[in-house]
Structure formats: structure tokens, C-alpha cells
Amino acid sequence: MSDERFVSPIADGDDKVIDAALRPKRLEEFIGQARVREQLSLVLHSAMRRGRAPDHLLMSGPPGLGKTTLAMIIASELGVPLRISSGPAIERAGDLAAVLSTLSEGEVLFLDEIHRMARPAEEMLYVAMEDFRVDVVVGKGPGATAIPLDIAPFTLVGATTRAGLLPAPLRDRFGFVAHMDFYEPADLERIIQRSARLLDVRMDDAGGAEIARRARGTPRIANRLLRRVRDYAEVRADGVITEEVARQALTLYEVDADGLDRLDRSVLEALLTKFGGGPVGLSTLAVAVGEEPETVEVVAEPFLVRKGLIARTPRGRIATPAAWRHLGLAPPPTTEGTLFEVAEE
């Protein structure tokens, strides 16, 4: 999997540093996700009026939409410390017990990719969320003893990109579940304008709009594209991001007007020119573009499906008429009929 995709929603080292500087600190500063923001405001302010920790919160959605940012805002709004960990880092129940036993009262524990937590730790978390207690096992075999250990009341904020992989008993213990949607271009423009001010980048409205159109509905991608366009503007223009400068820069970085990059177009071109629009199996398609099947399925396909350019069917991947139009090719006469026939199966 290429780590150099400008339109990847996965954070790299540079992103993590820049994201920390650009993140809003209060809920009122958070742009987009209006429904989630309003619901979360009610949950937090109601808990503060009662003088109690809010219910455990679960946030689901694709990467790069602000789940970690919201977890930090929750702790900031409540005026309590934030402890950050992740599901893959919790390999044993003892790892979770060590974290939970050191939490202070009211503290917020953020577990990213919570669906990847080890099963023994997951079962311990059930009791901790419900009864604020963990059972620490001492010894091995028949002589092992479970010692109950009370822990301070806390608020768990879980984040997942695969909500369907969460076991029902864990999902049911969250009092509030928020699904993060992709952002509208207007919200992305506001985010880009705010980031430009914080980064001291000169940019006009049309330049910001051009970047927002190609950011795939994801703030992390929008901020990354902004930094790359800034580089281009400083070296090959007068330092001001205009619509034309943004267009030239993103063309250089192989991000087209709809946000597709080299890998996306390679998948489409292979599907259309080598397999006549499909259906074709995932493994065969991956070999045709020289990538691993997981890369095609996880990195390229979600956006292509969301844009309506390809469809997943029981017989394989097929191209829609929009895919042919996107690459400027004439679709075969049977493309539309084949699409609906296969999709119904």
C-alpha cells in the first residue's frame, strides 16, 4: 500500500503534527457534522448540570473525519484529563487493567480503533463500563483467584472505522453513538480557510473552493492538499493560492477535479480497458494494477463506490456508465443493462 497518496485519509507522521496544531479546542469551533455536534453538546451539558460523568460515547465513520478531535474536545468541554490509547495496543486484559486502574475520577479514556481490541480485554471492558470494576486474576490454573478492583468513574470515548465489527454487548454499553458523515464542500471550504489563517497561508476564496472540491469530503485530506498547494504557490507562483494555482498544483500531484488520484484511475482504467467494464474479481483486478487486493479493496474502492463509478456485485466489480464518462470513453451499448442485471443478483 502506498503511503504517499495525497488523498489517503490515513494520518502519516507529518499529518499528526500538523493536525495537532490545527485542531479546534472547543465544540463551537468545530466545523461541520452539525447534527453530531448538537447532539454531543446536549449530552455534555446535561452531564455537567447533573455533576456526573456523561455516558460512554462511540464515534464511527471513515478515517480523517474528526473522531480524535471530538474526543479531545469532549475532555476540554468537561474540564477533565484525557487518556489516549488504541485497540491494537490493548493486547491482554492486564494491559487494559493497568490503564483503567490509574484513571482519575471523571477522566476521559479515548480508545481509537476499539474494534481491534483483544477479546479478553474486551470482556473486561464490559464490566468496567457498567460497574466501574475490573477483576484482576492472580495466579494460574486451578489456584487462580479473581480479585475485584474498584476503579474511578470515567467516560469511555470509543472510535471505530468498522462499526459492524463491534460485538453487540460492547456496542450496547455506549449511551451515545454518533456516525460521522463525509463533509460537504462548503464545510470543507471553511475548514481550509481556517487552516490557511493558522498556517499563515495567503489564499483567495476560489483557491479554497478548488481544494475543497478535490478533498473527497475529508478534512484531513483537505489540510494535506492545502499544504501541498502552498508549497507549489511559494515555489512556482507569487505565494498566493488562487483557483488557477490550486488547479495547476493538484494536477501536478495527480489529483483530478473529482478527487481521484493515480491509484483510483488505474483501477478504473484496468476495469474498463482490460475487462470491458466487468464483472471482474478483486484479485484479478489487483493484479492488473500491480497492487495487493487489500489495497484496492480498502484504499481505492470505498471512494470509487461512493462516487458511483464502480459497483460491487456477487459476480465481481463492474463499472457504471459514470466511470466511462469520467475517463472520456464511450461505454459499450450493454453497459447500463448489465449493471442493473448484475446488481439485482
Q: Has 64 been labeled as part of a binding site?
A: yes
130 is in an annotated binding site: yes
Active site residue 140: no
67 classed as catalytic: yes
**Shortest CA distance to 167 belongs to which of 58, 294, 88?**
58
Instruction: Judge whether 3 counts as a catalytic residue.
Output: no
**Catalytic residue, candidates 15, 19, 112, 261:** 112
Q: Was 317 annotated as part of a binding site?
A: yes
Report residue 321 as a C-alpha cell. Answer: 456508465
User: Which member of 5, 15, 19, 68 is catalytic?
Assistant: 68
User: Is residue 183 annotated as involved in ligand binding?
Assistant: yes
Report whether 159 contacts 59 (CB < 8 A): yes
- 68 assigned to a ligand binding site: yes
**Burial readout 174-207 (b: 16 or more C-beta within 10 A, e: otherwise):** bebbbebebbebebbbbbbbbbbeeeebebbeeb
Whether the Cβ atoms of residue 331 and residue 321 lie closer than 8 Å to each other: yes
Catalytic residue among 67, 214, 216, 247: 67
Residue 338 annotated in active site? no
Residues 103-134, buried b or exposed e (16+ Cβ, 10 A)? beebbbbbbbbbbbbbebbbbbbeebbeebeb
119 belongs to an annotated ligand binding site:
no
Q: Which stretches of 79-165 are DSSP H helices? A: 93-100, 119-131
d(CA 206, CA 208): 5
Q: Which of 220, 224, 230, 247 is catalytic?
A: 220
Q: What one-letter code names the amino acid at 15? A: D
**Is position 173 annotated in a ligand binding site?**
yes
Cα-flanking dihedrals φ and ψ of residue 120, to 5°?
-60, -40
Candidate list 161, 218, 335, 338, residue with the active-site label: 161
- 112 is known as an active-site residue: yes
Residue 312 marked ligand-binding: yes
Binding-site members for DNA are 312, 317
Binding-site members for Mg(2+) are 68
Binding-site members are 22-23, 64, 67-69, 130-132, 173, 183, 220, 312, 317
Binding-site members for ATP are 22-23, 64, 67-69, 130-132, 173, 183, 220
What positions carry a catalytic annotation? 67-68, 112, 161, 220
